[in-house]
Amino acid sequence: MIDTILSLTLAAIGLSVIIAVTRASRGPTPFDRVLAVNTIGTLIVLAICVYGFFDGRPEFLDIAVLYALINFIGTIAILKFFRHGTLGDHTIDDHTIGNHAETEEEK
């Protein structure tokens, strides 16, 4: 019973990954893509949790927690790069910011 539920959950997560990958490849704005990649990361974290219980190794939960942290930091780094144009050096004025965001949206 529980195995059926877990395998159905895995299948649903797989379907969601396909949808998120479609969004990441279609766009249209960069923020859609960032959100899609973040969603894929979250889904992978969920998949690792569910697979851990499915395979009888619940210690995979610890790995999933670390993945969630890495995913969060990665997304913050990407968004920070969009906001400031560099990582760490914030002496640049605001009007040079987000050149890529604008050029992609214009198309």
Partner 1 sequence: MSGFVVNAVLIFFLVLIAFLALRLHRLFAMVMLSGAFSLVAAALFVVLDAVDVAFTEAAVGAGISTVLALATLSLVPVEEKPHKVAIIPAFIALTTGVLLALAVTDLPKFGAADAPIHNYVAPDFISGSENDIGVPNVVTSVLASYRGYDTLGETVVIFTAAIAVLLIIGGWTRDRRRVSKQAEDDHAG
7-66 binders of partner 1 (CB under 8 A)? 7, 10, 14, 17-18, 20-21, 24-25, 27, 30, 33-34, 36-37, 40-41, 44, 47-48, 51, 54-55, 60, 63, 66
Retrieve residue 71's tokens: 């995913």
The residue among 2 and 87 lying less far from partner 1, judged by its C-beta, is 87
Does the bond joining 30 to the residue before it have cis omega, within 30 degrees of 0?
no
Retrieve residue 10's tokens: 């895995």
- Residue 47: HSE in the Cβ half-sphere, 13 Å Cα cutoff: 14
- Residue 50: HSE in the Cβ half-sphere, 13 Å Cα cutoff: 19
Would you say 23 and 32 are in contact if contact means Cβ atoms under 8 Å apart?
yes
Provide the binding-site residues for partner 1, judged by CB under 8 A: 7, 10, 14, 17-18, 20-21, 24-25, 27, 30, 33-34, 36-37, 40-41, 44, 47-48, 51, 54-55, 60, 63, 66-67, 70-71, 73-74, 77-78, 81, 85-87, 89, 92-93, 95-96, 99-100, 103-104
